[in-house]
Structure 1
Amino acid sequence: MNTNTFPRTHISLYVSDLAKTIEFYNAFFGKKADKIKPGYAKYIIESPSLIISFIENPERVQTGFGHLGFQVATRAAVESLLEKAKAKQIVSSEETGTACCYAIQDKFWVSDPDGVRWEVYYFHKDTEVNDPHYQSPESNSCCASSSAMQQ
């Protein structure tokens, strides 16, 4: 796909409490919202090129769709972002050298006030294995397949 065709990704999520959402994403993105209106907030992120908006509508909040994430270019970048997220007390978990989704990765996770999970990761290399703990029905991982969930 040509990057000029779709130069910026847009995501829009319904949220239950806009004030809590803004507080969380100000910390996670390290910047203030670019636009705030009644029941609405928007962030414009330059790297990666992303527009994400939040619409306050508790009845339409959807969870369990999987997760969102950012891949970073270096291990040092994920470590730096992890330290910043820890300082803001928004890290829910961290993993080093994990075999997740058939790739070796260093990563950390944050969850927004409505439970939307974000993964920030550095990709080391592909692998033919997936860590068995990700296949557990109790797993809250990014790559628990439906067959694992049905066990």
Structure 2
Amino acid sequence: MKRLHIHVSVDDLSQSIRFYSALFGCEPAKQKRDYAKWMLDDPKVNFAISARGAKAGIDHLGIQVEEGGELEEVRERLKKADLHTFAEGETTCCYAKSDKTWVKDPSGIAWEAYQTMAEAAFFNEAGLNATACCAPEMASIETPVNSGCC
């Protein structure tokens, strides 16, 4: 099973948790001092927010998978779409240990394809004091140049 992942940077975590909890009709499945995540079944989405000093708005999007075969399937789709990817491999991000591949869409929005293997005590490998989210330096990933609409 695949799940859409949306990560939004917010200015005020407490206020945003109240808003999204009301919108989704439930409390976060995970909550930290700088992060909250809802694992929704209707719609099937992993929705996360963080207040780590990044500009407010969409931080990145993703496809979360449960099994390694599904991750390989998504990676193959990206290759067939002729998109340049960055295979990050196993890493710690958003309080979880995951296997990740990153890509930029034609507009330059970061997308990740990933499988989570375990929970983690820290936001990312840089520890508690790291700012921003886990996307690698996206400048190293080329944005497709001949992308059409829709």
- Provide the TM-score with structure 1 as the length reference: 0.45
Question: As a proportion of its length, which structure holds more helix?
Answer: 1
Q: TM-score, normalised by structure 2?
A: 0.45
Q: Which has the larger radius of gyration?
A: 1
